[in-house]
Amino acid sequence: MNNIDWLNALETPFLLIDEFRFQRNIDRLYQRTEKLGSQIRPHLKTLRSIEAGRYLLKDAASPATVSTLAEAEAFAAAGYTNLLYAVGIAPHKLPRIASLIRKGVNIHILLDSPEQARAVTDYARANGVTFSVFIEIDCDGHRGGIPPESDALLELAQQIDGNGATLTGLLAHAGESYACRTDEAIRAAARTECKAINIAGQRVRALGIACPVLSVGATPTAHFAEDLTGITEVRAGVFTTFDLVMKNVGVCSLDDIALSVVSTVIGHNREKGWVFIDAGWMALSRDRGTASQAKDYGYGLVCDLYGSPYHDLCVTITNQEHGIIALPADSGLSVDNFPVGTRLRILPNHACATAAMHQHYQVLKSHRNEQETWQRITGW
Amino acid sequence: MNNIDWLNALETPFLLIDEFRFQRNIDRLYQRTEKLGSQIRPHLKTLRSIEAGRYLLKDAASPATVSTLAEAEAFAAAGYTNLLYAVGIAPHKLPRIASLIRKGVNIHILLDSPEQARAVTDYARANGVTFSVFIEIDCDGHRGGIPPESDALLELAQQIDGNGATLTGLLAHAGESYACRTDEAIRAAARTECKAINIAGQRVRALGIACPVLSVGATPTAHFAEDLTGITEVRAGVFTTFDLVMKNVGVCSLDDIALSVVSTVIGHNREKGWVFIDAGWMALSRDRGTASQAKDYGYGLVCDLYGSPYHDLCVTITNQEHGIIALPADSGLSVDNFPVGTRLRILPNHACATAAMHQHYQVLKSHRNEQETWQRITGW
């Protein structure tokens, strides 16, 4: 493992994906979910990459989730046809949705209000197109959605279905599970998420609306759910690479983290015990997701170039293109352990935010440590 | 001003530059600095855009500062020839520097250690190239650099100059000035910065080394310095657009902020008084720079589409593609004031971080509110 010349040759900073860990993370969740009788609709927002998506989507009709129309259009152009755009639909975005539908893409939109539904049915009628709609269900007060027991849900379902739109599914997202501190808390969040969507599903179906898809998911609940009865699909995104936030939540170990930023030592402040690297927040992101968790990793955990973490060594401060690693007094390390030119890997707080700072990713392939480059889909 | 159709027609979210404010900010600092007998070497890292750079660089040889070699190469390709790469040089980056020198670009590199100097002089000798070097001077313990009174400075200057390199200048950066709370504190930081570089300059020149450039700067000190005697150039970056952090430091007013993100309302949580917009941290960045300041603006200050701020209305929470505006109970506003489809402008905490989330910028031109698009230089 110690002779990967290209890791030393590429310009730094760069984002590195470890294919072995990436594949292992995917296998773990897919096998777990299939055993529970459901399937994964992966959220592609973390890496936004066709090349990465191929590991997740077995065939053209495999279900997928996207966070932007830019992703939807790129995955559609790559041949994928079952795409859920899981951000509440804004009316001005309907022409782009309609254009995908006319190309034969089974794209689903999300909404939770009568005014959105009206915009959708009006547009459908005026333009001779039929939309596939998901209604967002609120399971934990985290963001948007309608309570599963509400009259508003039934009214919205009837407003949509058959009026230029098909009510394809209901969606819940246990956003609060990211704040869980124990496995049992995550299991409870998963039960709440499934219960909410099952209640909502029964009530909508009692109206005579088929509503075939019941969709739940967040990376923590996807890994801890014990009973997926009635759940037709589970969404998860960051699980392919994981990160320090997920490690703190208890969903993965440090050794599962498949994404890092490779950086070079560019200087020292000997008096302060500071090591400067060429990865600032432009390469690592401004995400400080571990700041509110039990273990704060600063702007990321420092590893050697081959991925072995230095115990408790973090990027302490970032400027735009500088990172500062403040060596703890009790670490036994001095700046001389990190000569100028030394390369280090930094594990990220939040993989989605770190990946967003890069236009492409370097991939360390399982096969003979070969190199591959994946492109990120940018923009909206 | 209220009939700018294109602001309503473009896909959201998008980054908007107000050219009138942008030009006014530039004029203010350039005129101020020229009156004090110095000149601006603008730091191009905020927007990283050739189109934006044209407002700052009068001719091909105008001095400029960049934070990455990607910017240096792009500005060189656009014809600019006087570029300071103001991040400590890593030895493996020297071939790209040498390549620019061979193309006739006057590119300057920065260092502060004997090991970096050795790498530079060794490479120069082996490859028949002469580097132009700046030494970083530490004026406030903020990051890197050498104390101006140190023996190390003189040793380093002698190690460099004439050994495959020319010592072109000394550079100080009053990074601590971003934490100032009063105008007088910024003025004091500016005095400290200038004093450090003048002392360093006198000591180096006493060795018989010409070292023609004495460079200081940070946006706060650039706007408050009262005496630039001996200072040949002043660096500043974020001053072209400003942001909420700079407003809190006291360098600009809200009305000076020339950069915002245009976003669309996509939903509500009526019970909580939440308005959802389609600008999450992907569009706004994760930067929470105002969190540690007197006035915390969350993830940004909310304005109407034409730029008038709502008093104390901020983006409170962000997910990747969702922003949540929590309406304060005493604001007199309800979610009905923000119907789905409403467009809003969000002023950023930190313009550099927000701009970094976008691949291009939409520009509202002073002339008849016309539209223009500027491209961002990406990568390293």
Give the Cα separation of B350 and B238 in Å (integer).
9
B143 to chain A: nearest residue by CA? A269
Residue A179 CB burial class (10 angstroms; 0-12, 13-18, ≥19): middle
Torsion sign over Cα A5, A11, A12, A16: negative
What pLDDT, in 10s, does the model give residues A294-344?
999 999 999 999 999 998 899 999 999 999 999 999 999 999 999 999 999
What pLDDT, in 10s, does the model give residues A151-172?
999 999 999 999 999 999 999 9
Q: Return the bridge partners of A343, or none.
A: A264
Is B380 close to A283, i.e. CB distance below 8 A? Answer: yes
Distance from CA of A213 to the nearest CA of B (A): 22
What pLDDT, in 10s, does the model give residues A27-77?
999 999 999 999 999 999 999 999 999 999 999 999 999 999 999 999 999
Q: Which pLDDT score, from 0 to 100, does residue A3 have?
A: 63
Q: Return the bridge partners of A361, or none.
A: A374
Is the pLDDT reported for residue A352 higher than 60?
A: yes
Distance from CA of B251 to the nearest CA of A (A): 20
pLDDT class for A8, splitting at 50, 70, 90?
very high
Give the Cα separation of A173 and A238 in Å (integer).
14
Q: How far is CA A16 from CA A45, A341, A344, B367, in A?
A: 17, 18, 11, 45
Q: Which pLDDT score, from 0 to 100, does residue A93 have?
A: 97
Q: Which residues of B touch A264 (CB under 8 A)?
A: 90, 92
B275 to chain A: nearest residue by CA? A144
DSSP state of B127: H
| Non-local CB neighbours of A101 within 8 Å, separated by 6+ positions | A107, A129, A130, A131
Give the Cα separation of B324 and B311 in Å (integer).
16
Q: Phi and psi dihedrals of B372, rounded to 5? A: -145, 155
Average pLDDT over every residue of A286-297: 96
Is A267 close to B175, i.e. CB distance below 8 A? Answer: no
Q: Are B363 and B372 in contact (CB under 8 A)?
A: yes
Low-confidence stretches of chain B (pLDDT beneath 70):
1-3
Q: Are B283 and B263 in contact (CB under 8 A)?
A: yes
DSSP B205-224: HTTT----EEEE--HHHHHH
Average model confidence (pLDDT) across chain A: 96
Q: Within 13 A of A48's CA, how many CA atoms are on the CB side?
A: 27
Beta strand B14-18 with A323-326 is unpaired
Give the largest Cα separation in chain B, rounded: 73
pLDDT class for A143, splitting at 50, 70, 90?
confident
| Non-local CB neighbours of B7 within 8 Å, separated by 6+ positions | B16, B262, B305, B343, B364
Give the Cα separation of A111 and A132 in Å (integer).
11
Name the pTM for this structure: 0.96
Beta strand B14-18 with B323-326 is unpaired
Torsion sign over Cα B261, B266, B269, B273: positive
The CA-to-CA distance between both ends of chain B, in Å, stands at 39
Choose the mutation target among B286, B358, B377 for the interface with A, i.e. most A CBs under 10 Å: B286
**Element spanning A314, H or E:** strand A309-314
